[in-house]
Chain A
Amino acid sequence: MDVLLYLIPIALGLGAIGLVGFLWTMKNNQYDDMEGAAHRILLDDEDEEPTVKENEDGKKGGS
């Protein structure tokens, strides 16, 4: 039964990490705009010149 002495704290600890993580995302308003988030994934990360980069079509550093 000695195994319980560290297994139970580990089990509780893992669960608590998940719980705290979830509460943190809630606090960060990550669930406020689910619809927008679905669309935002299509956007590139904000670059200096997003339109130029797109037209280069992969060729880096072109004129």
Chain B
Amino acid sequence: MEATALSGKQAGSCSKIINCKHCGSPCSADNSFCSPSCKAAHLADSDTSAPILFSPAATADEKGEFQLELGIEGIHCASCIRLIENALAENPDVTAARVNMSTERLTVAWRGTQARGDALAHQVQQLGYRLYDLNVKNDASTASDAEKELIRAIAVAGFAAGNLMLLSVGLWTSTAEAMGMATRELFHWLSALIALPTVIFAGRPFFRSAIAVLKSGHTNMDVPISLAVTLACVMSISEIIRGGEHVYFDSAVMLLFFLLIGRYLDARAKGKARQSASRLLSKLAGTATVFENGNLVQRPVKDLAAGMRVLIAAGENVPADSTVCKGASDIDMSLINGETMPLSASSGTPVFAGTLNLTAPIEAIVDKVSNKSLLSEIVRMMEVAEQGAAKYVRLADRAAALYTPVVHAFGALTFLGWWVLMQAPWQVSLLHSVTVLIITCPCALGLAVPVVQVLASGELLKSGILLKSGDALERLSKVDTVVFDKTGTLTLGTPELVKGTYSEDHMQMAASLASHSRHPLSKALAAAFSGTLLDAEVEEVPGKGLSATVAGLTVQLGSRIWCGPEGGTEDTDLELWLNMEGTPAARFTFADTLRIDAADTVRKLHQMGLDTRILSGDRQATAKRVADTLGISETIAEVSPTEKCAYLNALKAEGKHVLMVGDGLNDAPALAAADASMSPSSAIDIAQNTADIVFQGDKLTPVVQSIYIARRSTKLVRQNFGLAVAYNIVAIPLAVAGFVTPLIAAAAMSGSSLIVILNAFRLKKRAKI
């Protein structure tokens, strides 16, 4: 099977014939790449002349083996995994090589010297995958340790709860006379034998938190939980010894089981959010390739100092504000000024941190330390804004704050009531007070939020919407004003070819050249062409265009100044000229198009009763034109990042709840300042990192969908709280009056939990818009 030149572009098709050296998709035998763009990307990725030093990050274990964990980008499918793992495993000294697709990490272990790690890393880079140091020591591993502990606790509690139920059903359904005193005693002791170790093991997360919070002189939900579980066990043991009728082991263990599930779901949602955030952060902080005594060394960006000489490969971000000293290339400045068109840079041109080097490797001298760069200024502004937004208190926390004192008060009053008023023996009084604690225990309360949240984020994920923080849904549901950025948010941010007067032949020629370049206009041109490409030896002239010899003809594709006709006053930014044998042949113009469903989205938002605005750094006229097309009444244009942030704060001061949708660096502070924020996945890392929600694809519908699901899930959470309260109103009087037997406690507890879970599932049923 021979793949055509273009169809092999989609990495992920996993054939084993001959794999493209870059993306792993199949390609013809005489070619090691499936498409010109893969070849270009591959060459760009691997064109660093000297190997980069990763080995200092390697750790040695006691057997003299070294292990290195690196972040890896560009893994799409099984053939990528195989390619990397097999290539590494072929080295006799490599003992283990493992790619983790979920976390995008590569772990490799080897025997021998530490420096060997660089050669191994280089081998992977040669395959066309980008490696980066995990220099940001994130707490992901401790978080997953906590998750694992919770799962173990759930497993043990589930096992114990099942078996205790088995015994309890026997106890409930027969009387002491029918089953005999000895058998009942046996069942009681067996229950104790199963329950006590379980409570000690599975209850640790709650006990730990309760003790910690009590030490600091506060109280939280875990205090009544720990108290109820402990007292239930102690009371039950004393009941067995006294030869009593009722034991509450099953209630205690089931309580732990349900609460652990809620706790796990909560931790999982938070962990996911933290994971995606830390991955973005480590890319952002990143490393720079620095010349040091003739070697190329990877250094964390924060360690860069003025005067250092850095190498910036094509496709890499500029690590610090610096001046180019060697080479020429095009720099994508969209991060700083929002412009779609790249700046051509050569020796002496200043470049800014965070901008993207597009065409060729360059060397530059660092001017400013990284924490004084333009980028860091904006980051700092963002952090200030974030601190202001962090004051939000979750609904669940407010409920817990109310719940804890009420439950304790009820427990204490029951005890005093029975002991003092009813003159009951203290054991009986304590028993009733414990049942109050057990039955009011927040199973439903503990599940109400996490279950809805997990279902909602699952539902969103199906549509390619990534929810990054747990309480974002709650904040999003309150939103009444939506503020859009223009470039990259309402528009696609990438230029598209506008139909012109060029002929098919010219188009074919231009596309053949363009497919060799990563310049945005070239990419747009190549993407617009679907026929067969001509064979061409293409040379990229940085800052000017492309030049090639095709069938004996000299062909140029580039800017008007380089190969277009003289003169002309039209807008020359978004155009390319094709020049054959020295005569300008065709002009290709481009435009930044609106997202296809932008107007539809705005209309739907209006229907939902939301106010919409445009907040853009672009020219007033351009922004106004977009606003008029979409039916957005209020436009604020020509604003700086600081003004954007100030505008949002002003809106908030008016008492509005604002959702900010933006994608650029200039939006980042505004995203942080807003009540809720969204970014398309095409946005720059820092915007994605700041936003609560990141959505994929070329459509804007996710904004509507997220708000819809957020409103719906918040409503369900409220309903669930309502159900939990209603259940307590019925159950508490029964418990206070002393009518609650272990059977009623068990039924009430699982019943309320099930109702809450089932209610949460209604989200799935009606989530269609």
Contacts and interface: CB of A to CB of B under 8 A. Distances in A.
A36 B102 contact: yes
Contacts of B379: none
A42 B78 contact: yes
Given A33-B101, A35-B102, A15 B162 contact: yes
A42 B14 contact: yes
B234 interface: no
17 contacts: A1-B183, A4-B183, A12-B194, A15-B159, A15-B162, A19-B156, A26-B151, A32-B100, A32-B102, A36-B99, A36-B102, A39-B77, A39-B78, A43-B82, A50-B16, A50-B82, A54-B17
Interface of A: 1, 4, 8, 11-12, 15-16, 18-19, 22-23, 26, 32-36, 39-40, 42-43, 46, 50-51, 54-55
B159 A8 contact: no
Contacts of A34: 102
B374 interface: no
B159 A40 contact: no
State the 9 A-B residue pairs at the shortest beta-carbon distance, nearest first. A36-B101, A39-B78, A35-B102, A54-B16, A42-B78, A33-B100, A35-B101, A19-B159, A33-B102
Given A12-B163, A33-B100, A33-B101, A39 B81 contact: yes
Contacts, number: 61
Interface string B150-174: 0110011001001100110000000
Interface string B127-160: 0000000000000000000001001100110010
A1 B102 contact: no
B294 interface: no
- Binding site secondary structure of chain A: helix
Contacts of A16: 159
A50 B14 CA distance: 14
B507 to A, nearest CB: 38
Given A1-B183, A19-B156, A39-B101, A55 B78 contact: no
- Binding site secondary structure of chain B: helix
Interface string B74-107: 0001100110001001000000000111110000
A39 B148 CA distance: 23
B567 interface: no
A55 B78 CA distance: 18
Given A4-B183, A33-B101, A39-B81, 6 more contacts: A1-B183, A12-B163, A12-B194, A16-B159, A35-B101, A42-B77
Contact of A36 (B17, B81, B162): B81
A32 B151 CA distance: 13
B16 A26 contact: no
Contacts of A46: 86, 89
Contacts of B163: 11-12, 15
Contacts of B179: 1
Contacts of A42: 14, 77-78
B180 interface: yes
A37 B345 CA distance: 45
A36 B100 contact: yes
Interface string B174-186: 0000011001001
A18 B160 CA distance: 12
Contacts of A39: 77-78, 81, 101
Interface string B303-327: 0000000000000000000000000
A12 B190 CA distance: 11
